[in-house]
Chain A
Amino acid sequence: MIRVNGEEMEWRPGLTVKDILEAKRFVFPMIGVWINDKPVPRDKFEATTVNDGDEVQVIHMISGG
């Protein structure tokens, strides 16, 4: 199990940041991701896997229409 923005999410081996964003339908292009407080560059979302028990924060960089 991992936590994404404070909510539990099923973990499986090989789960990447990109998989998480797809599962959550987080499609906004300007997203910041931190795993256990460490930032993940946007171009590494596909290549970065998460470990069981990780705390993932997904921040949408939009604060204005």
Chain B
Amino acid sequence: MEKMKLLAEWKYEPKKIERGYAGRTLYVNIGDRSFKEKPVTEDMKEKFVGGRGFGLKLLWDAVKDTTKWNDPENELVISGGPLCGITQYPGSGKCYTVFISPLTEQTYDSNAGGYFGPLLKFSGWDALEVQGKSDRDVILFIDGDNYKVEVYESPFEDINAVTITEALHEYFADSEEDKRNISVASTGKGAETTNWGCLNMSFYDLRRKTPRLKQAGRGGGGTVFRDKKLAAIVVRKRGVGPVSNNPADISVLQRTGLKLHKEIRDLDDQQNKMRKVGTPHLNEIMNEYHLLPVRNYKFGQHPEASKIHSKIFEKLFTQGIPDGCWYGCSMACAKAVDGFELKTGPLKGKKVTVDGPEYETCAGLGSNIGIFDPEWIIEANFYADHYGIDTISLGTGLAFVCECYELGFLNKDITNGLELKFGSKDDLMELIHRMGRGDDKFARIVGLGIHKMKKVFAEKYGAPFDVMEKIGMEGQGIEVSEYVPKESVAQWGGYFLTLKGPQHDEAWLIFMDRVNKQLPTFEDKAEALHYFPNFRLWFSLVGLCKLPWNDIEPADNVIKYKGIEAAKVPEHVQNYVDLFNAVTGKNITKEELIVQSERVYNFQRVFQLRLGKGTRRDHNIPLRAIGPVFPEEWEARAEYYDNELKAAGIDSQGLTTEEKIRKLQEYRLSQWEQLVDAVYKRRGWNKNGIPTVETLKRLGIDYPDVVEVVRKHSKPEDNWEE
């Protein structure tokens, strides 16, 4: 590759990391190519901790109430957090990207593995803030070895992820070995042509001699990236090691890490087999419990699901290679298919390494669109990543399109010749390629996401909006991730009473609620919808991966602890408390850990409010998410649903299936309203879902500008009756 043209350069002073923090953040305006350093204050550490917390705080200060996703002042903020980059404990290399989303038009955060977060911090920065819009495609390079930031004109015509990532690892490394010291954040052409743009964060796999891509998939961060005309962000830092974070007490990190490594070594094969199959171990489990989305979430089970059983992926994934996405992750679930020969698209015939597929991709680009062909799923997974498109939104979006097609709302004239029925493998693959090229009108409409597709289908093609409202699986403007939530009232909340839309990173309560029967009352559900979202949010503050929390558990976890306590995996929670204290030198308790999260949770809620969202109205739920919409869904589990009506005290004698569906919907919608009330109360919010000033005060985030937003939107009639 020829030498790239340097457009701007900025030098900075080296700075040692102290107890997990660099103590400053990097601001880059990619529009006027200006740079600055911002201090990290003690208050910022105390109240926002790091990672997503820092991202939200910096974004809050950067935007106006009226800022839209494609305004120059919108930012992409990438931050790891104080534990990011430790090498002693599995799952410690995550970073979080925060931005105003093109899908939800409010803040979104999305996490990725790979080496980007740690290398950014060890280059001297707790966060990277990119604002502005460039006039041409650029590559931003953070050179942590020579303490400078550079902006290059991008020479790439093909900005798709695999192409650009490979080339930039090559360009910025001195040797094959040196490629490990580099991480590239990129997206692809599909991020320009759809709102589903994802970010790919790389790490270099020395054994495979290729970069690997981990995705911050959700929310359209890649679309914001391309709107700024970023072709890639590269960070390079050599000499990273076990004490790069300069922790307060390394011995605790070593001891805690060893304990978990041993658990994983001894128990993973009997538990979730993460090291052999990664998250696809869920494929058959979800099918067995009626939770695998099939044909746009109509069903939760399918006879052909055996074709995407994890045993099949176990054979397809290369075994015997430790697949950790950061140093020291012995959970090693970042599985890959090597030597996969592509059968379609611009790289047809090329043999590639494909990262994944993860469970979500197997379901989204598999069962949910009526496809049970592992090779097809792998190919679709590859191209989605390569084009920079989130596989989850893509899967759920395509499922919606297929159902609309089968209902006759779309036809070949509209789709430009494609027959988009469930299971139409060739035509669905062609649609993905059209989205990756951006040269097809219908593909562009699909890429707007379900929320906007519904309007366009109604206005342009006369499709009935009310039916699409029922079956379009989105909330707050973003597509639902890949679990069928219908039968768990608590999971309606886990998906639809969330900060940013239906993504499973807040709470996954289906088994706890529906199978274990541990959450019988609305108050129980609300308590779970307080604890778990807050506990899980904490990973995003400190730079950790959620998976080693409960995808492995101590052998005696279920002997020592009972019920919901056992589900919290108390020993692992204690590990996190110990790790945080050992790195930062602080002395928090497990209760304070929850408060750390609660602060950011509520701050983000107020942020959504500030941007014109964040009220009860925005916590919308489609009918497909709470039960059957069409008779075929009811008939597939008729006995089960008849019993549901009976349990609800509804006499179904003599009713037609349509009438039964309506009765169940009415009943469940009343349950939904009760759930919303219980959850808002537990969270310290008013009836309209707005945090009260008392809640802000209790959490210590009653900053004048935050209180002002709350006051502006709160009405006396929204207060709870005493």
A interface residue numbers (CB < 8 A to B): 5-7, 25-34, 37, 39, 41-42, 57-65
Interface size on B, residues (CB 8 A): 39
Q: Are A32 and B288 in contact, with the CB atoms below 8 A?
A: no
In the complex, chain A residues whose CB is within 8 Å of the CB of B481: 65
In the complex, chain B residues whose CB is within 8 Å of the CB of A34: 562
Q: Whole-angstrom distance between the alpha carbons of A58 and B514 in the complex?
A: 12
Q: Are B511 and A28 in contact, with the CB atoms below 8 A?
A: yes
Q: Whole-angstrom distance between the alpha carbons of A6 and B270 in the complex?
A: 28
Number of A-B residue pairs having CB atoms within 8 Å of each other in the complex: 86
Q: Whole-angstrom distance between the alpha carbons of A32 and B558 in the complex?
A: 5
Least CB separation from B360: chain A residue: A65
Using A5-B517, A37-B562, A64-B549 as known contacts, list a sample of 19 further A-B pairs with CB atoms less than 8 Å apart, ordered by residue number in A: A5-B516, A25-B289, A32-B557, A32-B558, A32-B559, A32-B566, A39-B562, A42-B270, A57-B563, A59-B558, A59-B563, A59-B566, A60-B516, A61-B550, A63-B507, A64-B508, A64-B536, A64-B550, A65-B359
- 12 sample A-B contacts, Cβ–Cβ < 8 Å, listed by A number: A26-B515, A28-B289, A29-B271, A29-B272, A42-B270, A58-B516, A61-B566, A61-B569, A62-B511, A63-B567, A64-B508, A64-B536
In the complex, chain A residues whose CB is within 8 Å of the CB of B359: 65
In the complex, chain A residues whose CB is within 8 Å of the CB of B272: 29-30
Within 8 A of A (CB), among B507-521: 507-509, 511-512, 515-518
B504 interfacial contact with A, CB 8 Å? yes
Q: Are A63 and B509 in contact, with the CB atoms below 8 A?
A: yes
Chain A to chain B: the 4 pairs with minimum beta-carbon distance, closest first: A32-B558, A65-B504, A60-B511, A39-B559
Within 8 A of A (CB), among B559-576: 559, 562-563, 566-569
| With contact pairs A5-B515, A6-B517, A30-B272 given, residues A62 and B566 touching in the complex (Cβ less than 8 Å) | no
Q: Are A30 and B516 in contact, with the CB atoms below 8 A?
A: no
CB distance from A12 to the nearest CB of B (A): 23
In the complex, chain A residues whose CB is within 8 Å of the CB of B550: 61-64
Q: Whole-angstrom distance between the alpha carbons of A57 and B516 in the complex?
A: 8
Q: Are A27 and B285 in contact, with the CB atoms below 8 A?
A: yes
Q: Whole-angstrom distance between the alpha carbons of A14 and B511 in the complex?
A: 28
Q: Are B567 and A59 in contact, with the CB atoms below 8 A?
A: yes
In the complex, chain B residues whose CB is within 8 Å of the CB of A42: 270, 558
CB distance from B550 to the nearest CB of A (A): 6
In the complex, chain A residues whose CB is within 8 Å of the CB of B507: 63-64
Q: Whole-angstrom distance between the alpha carbons of A39 and B555 in the complex?
A: 13
Least CB separation from B481: chain A residue: A65
Q: Whole-angstrom distance between the alpha carbons of A64 and B509 in the complex?
A: 7
B390 interfacial contact with A, CB 8 Å? no
Q: Are B508 and A65 in contact, with the CB atoms below 8 A?
A: yes
Q: Whole-angstrom distance between the alpha carbons of A16 and B550 in the complex?
A: 27
Within 8 A of A (CB), among B253-297: 270-272, 282, 284-285, 288-289
CB distance from A45 to the nearest CB of B (A): 12
Q: Are B483 and A65 in contact, with the CB atoms below 8 A?
A: yes
In the complex, chain A residues whose CB is within 8 Å of the CB of B516: 5, 57-60
In the complex, chain B residues whose CB is within 8 Å of the CB of A5: 515-517
Q: Whole-angstrom distance between the alpha carbons of A28 and B515 in the complex?
A: 11
CB distance from B220 to the nearest CB of A (A): 21
Which of A5, A32, A57, A61 is packed against the most chain B CB atoms within 10 Å? A61
B270, B289, B483, B557: the one within 8 Å of A29 (CB):
B270
Q: Are B515 and A63 in contact, with the CB atoms below 8 A?
A: no
In the complex, chain B residues whose CB is within 8 Å of the CB of A60: 511-512, 515-516
B176-209 Cβ-contact flags toward A at 8 Å (1 or 0): 0000000000000000000000000000000000
Which of B270, B512, B516 is packed against the most chain A CB atoms within 10 Å? B516
Least CB separation from A5: chain B residue: B517
In the complex, chain A residues whose CB is within 8 Å of the CB of B532: 63-64
B504, B509, B515, B553: the one within 8 Å of A30 (CB):
B553
B45 interfacial contact with A, CB 8 Å? no
In the complex, chain A residues whose CB is within 8 Å of the CB of B668: none
In the complex, chain B residues whose CB is within 8 Å of the CB of A57: 516, 563
A6, A28, A63: the one within 8 Å of B508 (CB):
A63
Least CB separation from B273: chain A residue: A29
Q: Whole-angstrom distance between the alpha carbons of A31 and B567 in the complex?
A: 10
CB distance from B490 to the nearest CB of A (A): 10
CB distance from A2 to the nearest CB of B (A): 15
Q: Whole-angstrom distance between the alpha carbons of A60 and B291 in the complex?
A: 14
In the complex, chain A residues whose CB is within 8 Å of the CB of B505: 64
CB distance from B688 to the nearest CB of A (A): 28
B546 interfacial contact with A, CB 8 Å? yes
CB distance from B10 to the nearest CB of A (A): 41
| With contact pairs A30-B271, A39-B558, A42-B558 given, residues A63 and B512 touching in the complex (Cβ less than 8 Å) | yes
| With contact pairs A5-B516, A29-B271, A32-B566 given, residues A64 and B557 touching in the complex (Cβ less than 8 Å) | no
